[in-house]
Amino acid sequence: MPPLLRAVDRALTDAEAPARTQIRQFQPAHLSAVVLSGQRLTAFDQMEQMLEKSLLVNELAELAGEVRDRLRRQPLDLLLNAAHPLVQRLGELADPDHPRYRLVLTGLYYSALLNARHRLTPAAARQFHTDLQALLAAHLDLQTRHDP
């Protein structure tokens, strides 16, 4: 397994967002990563939407929620786009598993979740917000390091 894949898997496990990571070249090239949810999750999402629209008893809706939560805890498939410049740069790093790159690695995952829209759970949204704030602060530190 290439070092970048190991680094992404470790970063996501540490962030309690396990995924099965692969590197593939795909279109559109401007996407650095995508999350594949599989047919089973898609079918369940459709069933859940139907349940929400119907007037079924609360117990059935509660069961649907429990099943949804279990399915969402299963690792998603994260595809990193080999054609994307950021993925290429990360792949060229001598040690992509270094802690200073963790926020960038998890950022690829959160970016893919945002693109998938319905996969961003409240917990993932909070973690993404925290990581984004840390990245913004680090970027500001870099930009102002040489200011008088």
**Which CATH number is 135's domain given?**
1.20.120.790
Host domain of residue 28: 3-144
pLDDT value at position 36?
Answer: 83
Q: Find out whether 28 and 83 touch, Cβ atoms under 8 Å.
A: no
Q: Give me the number of domains the chain comprises.
A: 1
- Cβ atoms of residues 50 and 129 within 8 Å: no
Residue 62 burial by Cβ neighbours in a 10 Å radius (0-12, 13-18, 19+):
exposed
Q: Which of 91-95, 106-110, 111-115 is the least confident region?
A: 111-115
Q: What is the pTM of this model?
A: 0.72
Give me the mean pLDDT over the 12-16 stretch.
Answer: 89
Range among 37-41, 58-62, 97-101 rated most confident: 97-101
The answer, yes or no, to whether residue 61 has pLDDT greater than 60, is yes
Cα 79 off chain centre by: 10
| pLDDT above 60: residue 120 | yes
- Asked whether the predicted pLDDT for residue 6 surpasses 90, the reply is yes
pLDDT greater than 90 at residue 10: yes
Q: Do 71 and 44 meet the contact criterion of CB atoms below 8 Å apart? A: yes
Q: State CA 39 to chain mean position distance.
A: 18
Alpha helices in 15-57 (DSSP H): 38-53
